[in-house]
Amino acid sequence: MLTAVIPTIFMTVIGVVLVVTGAKTVAMVGGILVLAFCAMALAGYTLGTIFVTRGASVAAIQNEFLSSVSHEVRTPLTSIRMFIETLREGRVTDPAETQRCLTIVHQELGRLDGLVGKLSTLSRIESRHMAFERRLVPVSEIVAEALVALDALRLGAEIDLRVDVQADLVVRGDGAALSQAVANLLANAWKYTPATGKQISVKATSDAAHVIIEVADNGPGVAAHERETIFEKFQRGSAAGRGAVGTGLGLSVVRAIVAAHNGKADVRADTHGGATFRIVLPRARAEIAA
């Protein structure tokens, strides 16, 4: 770096001297030309440094992303291979144990399928190849479809579920995608609440210009320094260390879907414990006029 900058600075000094002390027109013109050349050289050097640094940063992000993907894919594949080899070599003879191995294989395949699906969704959203519908959608329908997904997840398990949706709320967007975003928040709440005594609430309210959908739970909450990072790809909060299974992509999908609808997604700490995730969307003009 210094080998490129020092000669340029030296030539700049010479150019200044020629312009200031040059009594003849030739000397002044020469000094101006030298200064112009040095200015172009410094500008080129600066721009080159910026682009190289930015390229290096992009490469580092890409490498980190690929490393994360590889890790997330390798984990279920390793588990699947281990159990298949166990069954193939006949090391398990008890029918109940065989069924347990097959159940784990099925769960890991589901996890792998979910990972691929979320990666595909994120890729299409971020590359803008995913076309969202733009129609008026009642918020009650969005919440209702998300609750159906929660019912499939909990399989009849006990839960203190509270739903409070303000009447006549409408947003403009893709109902299926927005339902998926709310369903992801509900799935997170289900995973991170205690096995017994689960409490989850869904509330939809509004102000003059926005519709706010909130999903609150009685889980361990989210630390203040993690409230932004958990929305990044493959990032999971410290609560994930408690044994909750996940890929670290669910909240990334939520934020991507909401951002595509000109909204925002965030999380706030609950004063009584747990966390409250929010989706804030613009109110539809037709709804405001009504």
- Of the candidates 127, 78, 126, which has an alpha carbon nearest to the alpha carbon of residue 105? 78
Q: Which of 102, 130, 158 is the last residue of a domain?
A: 130
Q: Apex CA 211: angle with CA 210 and CA 213, to 5°?
A: 140
Given 130, 153, 168, which residue is the final one in a domain? 130
Query: Which one of 101, 130, 159 terminates a domain?
Result: 130
Token pair 């990334």 is at which residue? 252
> Hey, what are 199's tokens?
């409490």
83 and 140 assigned to the same domain: no
Q: State the amino acid at position 81 in one-letter form.
A: R
Using an 8 Å Cβ cutoff, are 147 and 186 in contact?
Answer: yes
- Do 143 and 124 belong to one domain? no
pLDDT at 2: 41
What's the confidence (pLDDT) of residue 163? Answer: 95
Give the helix/strand (H/E) hosting 203.
strand 199-206
| 47 & 139 share domain | no
Determine the pLDDT at residue 178. Answer: 93
pLDDT of residue 269: 74
- 25-88 helix and 95-126 helix, angle to the nearest 10 degrees: 160
96 and 143 fall within a common domain? no
Instruction: Take residue 159 and report the two structure tokens written for it.
Output: 């839960």
SS3 283: strand
pLDDT value of position 89: 82
Q: Which domain holds residue 193?
A: 135-289
- What count of other Cβ atoms lies within 10 Å of the Cβ of residue 155? 6
Residue 14 has a pLDDT of: 54
* Tens-level pLDDT at each residue, the chain (290 residues): 444 444 555 555 554 554 445 545 555 555 555 556 555 555 555 656 555 555 545 455 445 555 555 555 666 677 777 878 887 888 878 888 888 888 877 777 776 776 677 667 767 776 665 678 889 999 999 999 999 888 877 777 788 999 999 988 999 999 988 998 999 899 888 888 888 888 999 999 999 899 999 999 988 888 888 888 888 876 766 655 555 555 667 888 888 889 989 999 999 876 667 889 999 999 886 554 44
Main-chain phi, psi angles of 235, to 5 degrees: -105, 130
- Do the bridges between strand 170-173 and strand 275-282 make them parallel or antiparallel, or are there none, so unpaired? unpaired
Which residues neighbour 221 within 8 Å (Cβ) at sequence distance 6 or greater?
239, 269, 270, 273, 274, 275
174-197 core/surface letters (b: 16 or more CB in 10 A; e: else): bbebbbbbbbbbbbbbbbbbeeee
CATH of residue 4's domain is 1.10.287.130
pLDDT at 138: 94
20 & 152 share domain: no
- Same domain for 80 and 202, yes or no, is no
